[in-house]
Amino acid sequence: MPSTQTPPIAGGAIDPPSLRPPIADARIERVDAARVRARLEELHAQGWTMLLDLGAADYPLRTPRFDVVYHLLKLSAAARTVAEVGTPERMRLLCGVEADDARVPTASDLWPSADWAEREVFDLFGIVFDGHPDLRRIQMPHTWEGHPLRKDYPLRGPARERSPRPAFALKSNVQAGVPPSGETLAALQEQRKKS
Amino acid sequence: MSSLSTTPLTPEIVSREGNTMVLSMGPQHPSTHGVLQLVLEIEGENVVNVDPEIGYLHTGIEKSAENLFWSQAQTVIERMDYLAPESNSLCYVLAAEKLLGIADRIPSRAQAIRVLFAELTRIASHCVWLGTHCIDLGALSVFFYTFDLRENILDLQEEAGGARMHPNYLRIGGCNGDLPEGFLAKLDALIEKFPGRMADLRGLLQANPIFQDRTIGIANLCANDAVAWNVTGPSLRASGVAYDVRRAFPYCGYESYEFDVPTRTEGDAYARFLVRLEEMEQAHRILQQVRKRLDEPGPVMIDDTKVAAPPKETIALSMEALIHHFKIVSEGFRVPPGDVYQSVESPRGELGFYLVSDGGNRPYRVRTRPPSLYNLQAIKAIARGNLIADLVVTIGSLDPVFGEVDR
């Protein structure tokens, strides 16, 4: 919830990932949706064994609108000691996705762990992963409409309609003297007298 | 991968080919440590296929965080992994500091306090894991031993931050005030008490034939599968891969502490138990080293009034301090645009944050890499072919926290 009285100060950066501060947290690469599958296959073959994370971000004013963000780690399953692991290489692959045809080929056959991550991105951003074996919503209910983590999705929903009061509690009925229970009527009339 | 689930096992598609039947376990099952529904396809007592259904605790923490100030977002982020709140806030704080470009200006005492709480929270979290894991297996008394120890740690959190569970004590730029008087004496008492309590726990469980029967050779995960399924933390190290973020990508000066990264090669539930116990002992080792560093006084907050509100006592004396304080409280601070990935070793594995700032006073995107989610996902590979009774051991040994899985 917006907890402060002051309105948000938008930074105004339309494409923040392109404004790289000098932070060496990973090797960074950018691909478009058409080439991402080939690039992922290549990386998988090169020994990037772990798909550390798969997420997305929404930049509504930018073309392409979405980024699917892959974080990869070159970790050998045979590394039995800390020295053998060392500092494994880490890579961030940013894949731009168009707004009107938000589709990306799946990576779940290369890294099985992409399964739930892709379902989550599909659920919360509405990006479709072509070839995913079981693309269903994962966090939101299956009947949900809309994709909550998109920037144009409101933080709060409309005020919920209050459930209707039972007939005997309606003031008009109390006045007409048709409540099923005398007790409620007495209590309500008492209350009216007081007010 | 042959172990990938290809068909969703919804109750509508009840497959009764051969002798299998579909059984729903949870979401209110006590062994699921939260709310997890497992739709099982079983043949007799054997699990043929498992389809975990998550999302029951989804509270939109990422969305909430993106609509709060940089400093406020921390309060909701601490509630993701509610058993290790300091790991969450530490990771978020480190990432935000990198974006702000102040990561190398954090006072060393603040770094030591961060390590202190990261390790305390590791012990506390493993205490909850061990207690509840043993309850799942029918051993009720272990719970009292572990929760007693955890209570001491929660007391320390309360002393420092004012709240037992979510102290919100680590802040962007340092810590919220120095450790209170009497804190170090309590810490000393805990450090002294720990080895005896650990010996109790080992004595209760390690050579216990019932415990061994339930865990040895159960819930096997080989190193290749663990890496492919993106399993991290103790569960990965129990499969033999010595990947620990504290060693691979050190933060908060972890490279200057002496500790081992315990590994096993069996990859079963018992190996995970041993790795976690040893990890608690290594955390104790780090605590002893931190304790020595905490004797030196020093600042615990960065000296930069653009990020950290100036101390309260200066406000009455200096106009500038008052203005800075007012600005930070009323509209937060701006963070230069850019994106960053930062990870820490949480008790469950690699916890990561991918933060994007558009230059405003709220984080533009807060993407979490939740270790529990990926660790839990591996249950699809682990549970196949095992008994239903062992499923409870499997969930327990992976130690998922559903606040974090669902966020």
Q: pLDDT class for B114, splitting at 50, 70, 90?
A: very high
Q: Do A112 and B374 touch (CB under 8 A)?
A: no
Residue among B63, B248, B334 whose CB faces A9 most closely: B334
First to last CA, chain A: 36
Q: Give B224 to chain A, closest Cα distance, Å.
A: 6
pLDDT in tens, A101-136: 889 999 999 999 999 999 999 999 999 999 998 888
B256's CB contacts (< 8 A; 6+ apart) are none
Query: Does B240 contact A at CB distance below 8 Å?
Result: yes
Residues 21-40 of chain A whose Cβ lies under 8 A from any Cβ of chain B: 21, 23, 25-26
Highest mean pLDDT among A13-17, A162-166, A179-183, B57-61: B57-61
CA angle B371, B376, B377 (to 5 degrees): 105
ipTM of the complex: 0.85
Residues of B in contact with A81 (CB under 8 A): 242, 263
Strand-pair partners of B367: B354
Q: Is residue B262 within 8 Å of residue B282, measured between CB atoms?
A: yes
Determine the average pLDDT of the residues in B187-206.
91
Cis ω on the peptide bond leading into residue A16 (within 30° of 0)? Answer: no
Give the CA distances from residue B128 to residues B34, B48, B123, B255, B276, in Å, rounded to whole numbers and listed in that order: 13, 30, 9, 28, 12
CA angle B123, B124, B130 (to 5 degrees): 85
Determine the average pLDDT of the residues in B125-142.
90
Residues 252-291 of chain B whose Cβ lies under 8 A from any Cβ of chain A: 261, 263, 265
Q: Do A49 and B8 touch (CB under 8 A)?
A: no
Residues of A in contact with B64 (CB under 8 A): 1, 155
Query: Does A148 contact B at CB distance below 8 Å?
Result: yes
CATH code for residues B61-302+337-381: 1.10.645.10
Determine the average pLDDT of the residues in B199-211.
89
pLDDT in tens, A43-88: 999 989 999 999 999 998 888 889 999 999 998 888 888 888 888 8
Distance CA(B367)–CA(B353), nearest Å, equals 6
Residues 97-116 of chain A whose Cβ lies under 8 A from any Cβ of chain B: 108-109, 111-113, 115-116
Q: Is residue B4 within 8 Å of residue A115, measured between CB atoms?
A: yes
Alpha-helical runs (H) found in B66-222: 70-77, 85-100, 108-136, 141-161, 183-205, 209-215
Give the number of beta-carbon pairs within 8 Å between A and B: 192
pLDDT in tens, B45-55: 888 888 888 88
Give the CA-trace dihedral at B9, B15, B18, B20, to 10 degrees.
50
Q: Give B188 to chain A, closest Cα distance, Å.
A: 30
Q: Among B64, B66, B346, B367, pick the best mutation site for testing chain A contact (most A Cβ within 10 A).
A: B367
List the structure tokens of B37.
Answer: 């529904």
Where do we find the tokens 């200066």?
B314
Where do we find the tokens 């529990």?
B372
- What is the DSSP pairing of strand A90-97 with strand A103-105? unpaired
Using the Cα atoms of residue A141, residue A146, residue A149 and residue A153 in order, give the sign of their dihedral: negative
Please tell me whether residue B42 adopts helix, strand or coil conformation. strand
Q: Give B219 to chain A, closest Cα distance, Å.
A: 18
Structural domain spans, chain A: 23-130, 165-195
Q: pLDDT class for B6, splitting at 50, 70, 90?
A: very low
- What is the rounded average pLDDT for all residues in chain B? 87
pLDDT above 60 (res B403): yes
Q: Do B223 and A26 touch (CB under 8 A)?
A: no
Q: Do B331 and A71 touch (CB under 8 A)?
A: no
Query: Does A84 contact B at CB distance below 8 Å?
Result: yes
Query: Does A155 contact B at CB distance below 8 Å?
Result: yes
Residues of A in contact with B224 (CB under 8 A): 77
Residues of B in contact with A53 (CB under 8 A): 352, 354, 367, 369
Q: Do B248 and A86 touch (CB under 8 A)?
A: yes
Distance CA(B72)–CA(B361), nearest Å, equals 10
- Provide the percentage of residues in chain A whose pLDDT is more than 90: 30
pLDDT in tens, B53-93: 888 889 889 999 998 889 889 999 999 988 999 999 999 99
pLDDT in tens, B326-381: 888 888 888 888 999 999 999 999 999 999 998 888 899 999 999 999 999 999 88
Q: Do A3 and B72 touch (CB under 8 A)?
A: yes
The architecture of the domain spanning A23-130 is: 2-Layer Sandwich (3.30)
Residue among A23, A55, A139 whose CB faces B406 most closely: A139
Give residue A82's pLDDT: 83
Q: Among B339, B366, B375, pick the best mutation site for testing chain A contact (most A Cβ within 10 A).
A: B339
Query: Does A44 contact B at CB distance below 8 Å?
Result: no
pLDDT in tens, B25-46: 878 777 777 788 888 888 888 8
pLDDT above 80 (res A22): no
Determine the average pLDDT of the residues in B284-301.
91
Distance CA(B126)–CA(B305), nearest Å, equals 38
If you write DSSP's letter for every residue of B12-28 in order, what string do you get? TS---STTEEEEEE-SS
Lowest mean pLDDT among A152-156, B97-101, B143-147: A152-156
Residue A132 identity (one-letter amino acid): H
Structural domain spans, chain B: 61-302+337-381
Give the CA distances from residue B392 to residues B166, B210, B219, B382, in Å, rounded to whole numbers and listed in that order: 28, 15, 10, 12
Give residue B374's pLDDT: 93
Give the containing element (helix H, strand E) for A81: none
Q: Among B261, B333, B341, pick the best mutation site for testing chain A contact (most A Cβ within 10 A).
A: B341
Distance CA(B332)–CA(B325), nearest Å, equals 10
What is the distance, to the nearest Å, from the Cα of residue B384 to the centroid of all Cα atoms in its chain?
27
Residues of A in contact with B55 (CB under 8 A): 137-141
Q: pLDDT class for A159, splitting at 50, 70, 90?
A: low
List the structure tokens of B44.
Answer: 């007799």
pLDDT in tens, A74-83: 988 888 888 8
Query: Does B3 contact A at CB distance below 8 Å?
Result: yes
